[in-house]
Chains A and B, each alone.
Chain A
Amino acid sequence: MFKIVRKEVLNPSVKLMEIEAPYVARKAQPGQFIIFRINEEGERVPLTIADYDRDRGTVTIIFQEVGKTTKMLGSLNEGDEILDFVGPLGVPSHLEGYRKAAVIGGGLGTAIAYPQAKKLHELGAEVDSIIGFRNRELVILEKEMKAVSDNLYITTDDGSYGQKGFVTEVLKDLLDQGKQYDLVIAIGPLVMMKAVSELTKKYGIKTIVSMNPIMIDGTGMCGGCRVTVDGKIRFACVDGPDFDGHLVDFDEAIRRQSMYRKEERQALEEYECRLRGVQNA
């Protein structure tokens, strides 16, 4: 069992949890992920590691409540325990040797972009961060990102906070103003990572994206997380989750992501129905 030692509500649908997992905390690196399972009937869900504290023996995860499992996790509190928590999985991000990086987070992706920005900053790189959200209410980790960035740009789709528009527009402006980056990291929804990769390809800037496909074991055993990179099948769990954004087949990844949409909706509806039943009883 793995204990939740801290819980924080970052925005109405995004929560942070610090989980006691000393073995994972000892080895975790930015870019790696964990898989958790809440209970005996639960599914295995991968989440990228948002932070870790080797001394406290804890790993921080940040998640958006989108389906049954993430809603259930979000309903747990400090002191509660979850059944399984395994990691660190995947290959750590290679962040050494860069001088000037743009780190781009889209929505929840900001939570995963944060440890990367932090690590680049610690390694002495100049970091410009661009984080985008749908609206002001959904902005997360502004303070944290600011602390590890030389410049922080925030966008919202509706203009309720920061600059109105998309992260790609800010990146394009910066590039057109003559900013030079030797690395762009883009983490967020597939469509956003695709848009950033298309843009940076034109400018010839190396771009790393973090893929988070459907997976079960996370050890290369099921092949469910396969991604086409440069025309070849790669497994996100053991070959990634970081890949060269210019070589990823995003359209295929977007399609594969939707494979269980119907079942996801069904599970969520039944869960919420049960919850309402309990509340009404």
Chain B
Amino acid sequence: MPNMSLNKTKMPEQDPNVRNRNFFEVALGYTEEMAIEEAKRCLQCKTKPCIEGCPVNINIPGFIKLVAEGRFEEAYDLVRESNALPAICGRVCPQETQCEMFCVRAKKGEAVGIGRLERFVADWYLANRKPKDEKAESNGIKVAVIGSGPAGLTCAGELAKMGYDVTVFEAFHVPGGVLMYGIPEFRLPKALVQKEIDVLKRLGVEIKTNMVIGKVLSLDELFEEGFEAIFIGTGAGLPNFLGIPGENLNGVYSANEFLTRINLMKAYRFPECDTPVKVGKNVAVVGGGNVAMDAARSAKRLGAENVYIVYRRSEAEMPARVEEVHHAREEGIIFRFLTNPVRIIGTEDGWVKGMECIEMELGEPDSSGRRRPVPKEGSNFIIDVDTVIVAIGQSPNPLVTSTTRDLETNRWGGIVVDEKTGATSKPGVFAGGDAVTGAATVILAMGAGKKAAKSIDRYLKSKREQSQEQK
């Protein structure tokens, strides 16, 4: 009998006033009983619209049925067939605009908690089973993957499963990309990311850290070293700034820097860890995306008294996930909508002491389809803050593209690819994820990595056939 409750089975969470002082995970996950209860809400409908909503097309009703029957290991195996990083996606995917948006149950009441169930099966597996050695038989063909974020890891995992010898090059000292430096511990525990990466290593993927491709090796040199195809998944690592006076004052961070100090360099453990971070008493985070929420919630955890999200449009236009906004609000983050900074004010010795803002109102829709925010003349006011975090987006990192002449980019710095295949203008080079699209989501990057892996396989096979014909 299906569970006809209109609401999702509740997932336990840390109390907001406790968790806004620690970096432990906010959502605690389902128990086996809760997972089975929630899995029974799935009607196993014939049309399976949820699968279409998933960028990597997980067999969602299939794995949920297995969960309902208590067959968790099989459920995990089924998810893993389409998704290399389920513990991560179950936590950070925007399910509400993907799989769950299409769920039949959402027509009346809440959708099945697909993300929660995905998280459950992955966590259950990582806690109860030793990762299997799934190494495929090597076909001896070397493929290089640049960047070890979601796009690169997925591409690497897929190719390794097909038998390719995959080497992933990572610029930082640990793999994971944005999963490590960007998304905070309280949303995505780093030990878990490491476990997911270990699963990939068991597929035979080799990861080389401290390798800044474009500097230490060019793409052409990678080909010379025997790699026959290259996937670029270097992400959107170039922070955008506001371009207003005072942006270089002490106390102004890009969200990238602020979060990297905390997540990757563990500044919340200073001085036990050597990297410090400055969090003042009053913090303004400029922007309305998930990165802005992450920065604001991190600042609160590090002891800031008042943390403001300053966003130039209204709540309805905010790009952040509803769940993240809800969590931020619960934790005491203060939202200042329709507010835009015009300058950052400094003390005589160059530290932030305030931010001048102007009130905005919504005008006609702009090219994004959202109503354009227009400043209200004479409405300027000052917020007292000692830290400003700029979280207005990132552009693709130009390190590889600027050192590779025959790689075409668009005017935003994104790598131009064939949408169907991920192929770039340079033969044998494929790309995907934020390096192509600009900052987007983990799952879209994974989808792109998966697609590129298939194209790389096709490309290398046809290359083999051609060379054999010539012989």
Chain A residues engaging chain B, CB cutoff 8 angstroms? 23-24, 26-27, 37, 41-44, 68-69, 83-89, 216-224, 226, 228, 233, 238, 252, 255-256, 258-260, 263-264, 266-267, 270
Stretch binding the partner chain, chosen from B74-82, B117-125, B268-276: B268-276
- Kindly state whether residue B138 has any CB partner on chain A within 8 Å: no
Q: How far is the CB of B413 from chain A (nearest CB, A)?
A: 11
Question: What residues on B are CB-neighbors of A219 within 8 Å?
Answer: 171, 212, 237, 397, 399
A-B contact pairs, 7 of them (CB 8 A): A42-B273, A84-B210, A88-B216, A216-B265, A222-B256, A223-B239, A233-B248
Of all chain B residues, which has the CB nearest A266?
Answer: B271
Contact in complex: B257, A27 (CB < 8 Å)? no
Q: How far is the CB of A27 from chain B (nearest CB, A)?
A: 6
Q: Which of B181, B209, B215, B276 contacts A260 (CB 8 A)?
A: B276
Of all chain B residues, which has the CB nearest A216?
Answer: B260
Contact in complex: B212, A86 (CB < 8 Å)? yes
Question: What residues on A are CB-neighbors of B349 within 8 Å?
Answer: 255
Contact in complex: B257, A222 (CB < 8 Å)? yes
> How many pairs, one residue from A and one from B, have CB atoms within 8 Å of each other in the complex?
116
Chain B residues engaging chain A, CB cutoff 8 angstroms? 171-173, 181, 209-212, 215-217, 237-239, 241, 247-248, 250-251, 253-254, 256-257, 260-261, 264-266, 269-276, 278, 349-350, 397-399
Given contacts A27-B215, A224-B254, A233-B241, 20 further A-B contacts (CB under 8 A): A23-B217, A24-B216, A42-B273, A69-B274, A84-B173, A85-B210, A86-B212, A87-B215, A216-B265, A221-B237, A221-B238, A233-B248, A252-B248, A259-B251, A260-B276, A260-B278, A267-B270, A267-B271, A267-B274, A267-B276
Contact in complex: B173, A37 (CB < 8 Å)? yes
Question: What residues on B are CB-neighbors of A68 within 8 Å?
Answer: 274
Question: What residues on A are CB-neighbors of B274 within 8 Å?
Answer: 41-43, 68-69, 267
How distant is the Cα of A224 from the Cα of B253 in the complex, in angstroms?
7
How distant is the Cα of A24 from the Cα of B266 in the complex, in angstroms?
27
Are A223 and B241 also in contact (CB < 8 A) when A86-B212, A87-B216, A260-B276 are? yes
Of all chain B residues, which has the CB nearest A228?
Answer: B248
Question: What residues on A are CB-neighbors of B265 within 8 Å?
Answer: 43-44, 216
Contact in complex: A217, B172 (CB < 8 Å)? yes
Q: Which of A42, A69, A259 contacts B250 (CB 8 A)?
A: A259
How distant is the Cα of A218 from the Cα of B251 in the complex, in angstroms?
20
Are A270 and B271 also in contact (CB < 8 A) when A87-B215, A220-B397, A223-B257 are? yes
Question: What residues on A are CB-neighbors of B171 within 8 Å?
Answer: 86, 217, 219
Q: How far is the CB of A190 from chain B (nearest CB, A)?
A: 14
